[in-house]
Structure 1
Amino acid sequence: MKISVRNLEPTKVRLTITVDPDELNPYLDQARKEIGKQVTIPGFRKGHVPGPIIDQRVGFASVAGEAVNAGVPELYSKALEEKQLHAMAQPQIDVKDIPSSAKDDTKLKFTAEVEIRPKFDLPDIEGMEIEVPKPAVTDEDVDKRLDNLRQRFGTLVSVDRPATKGDYANIDLDAVIDGESVDSQQGVSYELGSNTMLDGLDEALDGLSAGEETTFEGTLEAGEHQGEKAQIKVKVNSVKAEELPDLDDEFAKEASEFETLKELREDVRKQCQVDAEGRQATDARDAFIAKLQDGLDIPVPKGIKQSMVTDQLKNSGKDPDKASKDEKAEAEQTVEKELRDQMTLDALAEKLGITVSQADVTNFLASIAQQYGMDPSAFINGIVRNGQLGSAVQEVGRSKGMLAGMRAVTFKDPDGQEVDLSRFLGEDEPQAQEEQDESVQAASAAAEVADQLSQDQE
């Protein structure tokens, strides 16, 4: 097999693959066998029809078509492996030449254009030290958490005064375009300052009392007239303020298992400390990836980036065609970071020789299924049916590579003290295998499904 590679972009190549007859012949023979099982030819049992007879009765073109459909994906994968290219998307295949008969010397030739991971060299992580901030907890952190707890026990009471930020207003809305009402809602409860509905609504409601109304211009964000400007008429039916319980021993008894506010505050501080340590672990992860990328120029594949930006905007409730310049720029920045992080972790996993077993993938998918309260077997079945198994394998490889890499470096706080992240990073692979096996056994049903599906894929 002859392979030539042309760089179209820093992250896109065109492979031209020419296949020798001896490499194509096994696919032609297999195609003849499969066709022979499906056709009825007098004098021969199904599945036992000689190849030349298949070529004669069915036509070599049909045989070659079946062979190409089966062979091109495998030959393309072999070409990627030989040239050490890492595809990041499905290729665009264009078959150029196919032999017209069994005796035709024409070689199968096809091209494949595909976006790839760019080549870059990661730094050596041996002896690497990374600084991360301390997991500090302030009195403000504790007070904020206590305030959140108070809000869970708060009540809304009617007030005879103009509405202000933090109040809850019961309102009627009517959107008018060219003098015609196009949408209306009655009895909507809205928290002033939350900015969860129409732009300009918070400003319009601020200072209004029950029974008062006003009109402002806004852009409709849903419905038939989404994206259009309208005159929004808003009427306030009532204004309510949130009344919070006093922060005292009585509240501590009602809201927790503690008898005094002091005990509750101490427990809340411990919870804040746990959260702070979790944030420190997240900071360590981000700092680790940033350290790997330091000084590297990692271009991102344009096509994949554009597709992800579109999805990002849609997932945030925005129309990609109508999104503002700032909204698109923010989405692009998010997507570029995500792509660079993914490519960095993929390269790290390869550098460290990380392998992903079926147990790894099954355990990973089973844990996700449990988070969403789904049956592991059904969930894994759906993943494979939708063609997402490869993405799951890749995600597991990234996670294992990142954890292995973080265990290999030293994290220190600003005072130079070593930071112990073992609670978040787990143990090295050999030590953690027993726990992993137990976890996989707990998801045995999912494992059986994954195993069968894996065999079917092969």
Structure 2
Amino acid sequence: MKVERTDKSPTQVSLIVTADQHDLTPIKDHVLRHFASEVKVPGFRAGTAPVALVEKHVDQRVLADKFIDRALNSLYGRAIDQEKLRPASKPEVQLKKFVPFTDLEFEVLFDIIGPIKLPDYKKIKLSKKLVEVTAKDVNGVIKSLQLRVAARNEVDRAAKAGDEVTIDFRGTSKEGRPLAGADGRDYPLMLGSGTFIPGFEDNLVDAKAGEKKDFTITFPRDYGAKGLAAKPVTFAVEVKKVNEVVKPKVDDEFAGKTGPFKTVADLKADIKKQLKTEKQLQADREYENELVRKITEKSEVEVPKSLVDEQIARGEEDEKRDLMNRGQTWQEHLDAEGVTAEEHFERKRPEAKQRVKAGLVLSEVAGKEDIFVTPEELETRIKILKGQYQDLQMQAELDKPENQRDIAARLMTEKTIERLVEYSSRSR
């Protein structure tokens, strides 16, 4: 077999593979052995006839098609091994020459993962953030608990700050077009909570049940949906109910209603403990992300475009499923963002490229550190994940090979980051 390599770019390679009868005969015999169990050859049981006899009983066009498929896959695999390449995309294959079973020539074009130059990652140090839980943090949770168990008494008066109003609302653009995600029915809104954009709740102060109000608000410049940022939106709101919110006194009786606590001090101690755990987990994630970011930043990697495109496409599929669950179409989302499908795709590219680069760097570190996932580790993780689902269909999804590959990849990433944290945490 002869392989002629042409580097189209640092991340794309073309291979012209030429094979002669010496390379092709074993492939042909393999295909014929497959046919041996399917065709009837007089005097032989199924699967026992010599391949030379089997060939005489097989349609030559069918044999050639099966042979070419097998040969392309087999020789492509040998070619990338010979050239020591790491494919990053499916190959584009062009058959250039085929003389049945004696000569074959084809060209493959595909993206590759090129050389990755890592920094001395063992010497990259980061300081861990100290976690502190303040009295203000604890009191914030107490206030949330008060609101959760507060009495809501319907009143026949104008709404004021601190009241909860039940509303139907609908937002339209300057042109009068309904805006996706800017409508709701029977929505309970606490006036003064800051739940909605600035100005919305203020317009409902002094409103009464049964009252309808129309008002226009300009969205903040830094609003998440770019299509609405700094844009005026007109809201039509109907106030259906006004509730006075009566919060309970924070005492030992209140503490007992929120959980197995005898005193307020017990409740606050438990809140502080939980907040510290949550903050520590968040701090650990931030530390790990910053460590990976620093190592990635210092690494030299040519990122294949195809991997970035795949990353963006997967993200958009997740986004579409989430929108569907919320009753919103993809086109409605694009309209709200004020972008075309192509613009939406391309604006995700910088972040996706960074994520792909980080993944390649971590994979390279794992290889250098001889980190791998054992079958026992994978089995344990799958059992844990299955325990999180009541739905048997969801549990069955975890048994699919493609999902198990994803789980194994996540495990590998976790183990690699753990190793990097270990190095970073060592004394200088």
Inter-partner Cα distance in structure 1 for 2:414 and 2:82: 26
How big is each residue's C-alpha offset from its partner over 1:298-354, in whole Å with a ceiling of 9 and x where there is no partner?
454333433433443453435476444596676444423322222221111111122
Instruction: Give the superposed CA RMSD.
Output: 4.0
**What amino acid does structure 2 have at the position aligned with 1:211?**
G
Cα 1:175–1:165 shift into 2, 3 Å? farther
Q: Which residue of 2 aligns with 1:264?
A: 267
Q: Which residue of 2 aligns with 1:189?
A: 187
How big is each residue's C-alpha offset from its partner over 1:383-407, in whole Å with a ceiling of 9 and x where there is no partner?
22xx444333333322222223322
Mapping 1:17-28, distance limit 5 Å: 17-28=17-28
Q: Which residue of 2 aligns with 1:335?
A: 352
Return 129-138 or 14-23, whichever deviates more: 14-23
| 8 Å CA contact 2:39, 2:54 repeated in 1 | no
Inter-partner Cα distance in structure 1 for 2:294 and 2:263: 46
CA drift at 1:289: 0.6
**What amino acid does structure 1 have at the position aligned with 2:85?**
L
Q: Which residue of 1 aligns with 2:254?
A: 251
| 8 Å CA contact 2:167, 2:237 repeated in 1 | no
Inter-partner Cα distance in structure 2 for 1:203 and 1:297: 53
Q: Which residue of 1 aligns with 2:121?
A: 125
How big is each residue's C-alpha offset from its partner over 1:77-108, in whole Å with a ceiling of 9 and x where there is no partner?
343344333333433333333332x4x3x1x3
Inter-partner Cα distance in structure 1 for 2:15 and 2:153: 70
Q: Which residue of 1 aligns with 2:148?
A: 152
Q: Which residue of 2 aligns with 1:394?
A: 409
Matched, 1:168 2:165: yes
**What amino acid does structure 1 have at the position aligned with 2:148?**
R
Q: Which residue of 2 aligns with 1:141?
A: 137
TM-score, normalised to structure 2's length? 0.76
Matched, 1:351 2:368: yes
Mapping 1:62-141, distance limit 5 Å: 62-100=62-100, 102=101, 104=102, 106=103, 108-141=104-137
**What amino acid does structure 1 have at the position aligned with 2:121?**
I
CA drift at 1:72: 3.1
The secondary structure found in structure 2 opposite 1:371 is coil
Cα 1:168–1:124 shift into 2, 3 Å? same
Cα 1:190–1:340 shift into 2, 3 Å? farther
| 8 Å CA contact 2:117, 2:301 repeated in 1 | no
Cα 1:213–1:164 shift into 2, 3 Å? farther
Q: Which residue of 2 aligns with 1:58?
A: 58
| 8 Å CA contact 1:173, 1:235 repeated in 2 | no
| 8 Å CA contact 1:11, 1:118 repeated in 2 | yes
CA drift at 1:153: 1.8
Q: Which residue of 2 aligns with 1:431?
A: none
Q: Which residue of 2 aligns with 1:274?
A: 277
CA drift at 1:194: 3.6
Task: State the number of aligned residues.
Answer: 394
How big is each residue's C-alpha offset from its partner over 1:178-200, in whole Å with a ceiling of 9 and x where there is no partner?
999999x996224265449xx99
Inter-partner Cα distance in structure 1 for 2:30 and 2:205: 75
Q: Which residue of 2 aligns with 1:362?
A: 379
The secondary structure found in structure 1 opposite 2:363 is helix
Inter-partner Cα distance in structure 2 for 1:396 and 1:182: 41
CA drift at 1:127: 4.3
The secondary structure found in structure 1 opposite 2:38 is coil
2:425 to 410, 422, 440: 410
| 8 Å CA contact 1:171, 1:238 repeated in 2 | no
TM-score, normalised to structure 1's length? 0.72
The secondary structure found in structure 2 opposite 1:130 is coil
CA drift at 1:203: 7.6
Q: Which residue of 1 aligns with 2:209?
A: 210
Inter-partner Cα distance in structure 1 for 2:415 and 2:134: 34
Return 205-214 or 24-33, whichever deviates more: 205-214
Cα 1:246–1:113 shift into 2, 3 Å? farther
Matched, 1:240 2:243: yes
2:396 to 378, 391, 396: 378
**What amino acid does structure 2 have at the position aligned with 1:391?**
D
Percent sequence identity over aligned pairs: 19
| 8 Å CA contact 2:303, 2:353 repeated in 1 | yes
Inter-partner Cα distance in structure 2 for 1:180 and 1:286: 41
Inter-partner Cα distance in structure 2 for 1:242 and 1:411: 53
Cα 1:6–1:141 shift into 2, 3 Å? farther
How big is each residue's C-alpha offset from its partner over 1:158-178, in whole Å with a ceiling of 9 and x where there is no partner?
342236687332337698999
Cα 1:170–1:233 shift into 2, 3 Å? closer
| 8 Å CA contact 1:249, 1:259 repeated in 2 | yes
**What amino acid does structure 1 have at the position aligned with 2:39?**
V
Mapping 1:215-226, distance limit 5 Å: 215=214
Question: Which blocks of at least 5 consecutive residues in structure 2 are unaligned?
Answer: 218-231, 324-329
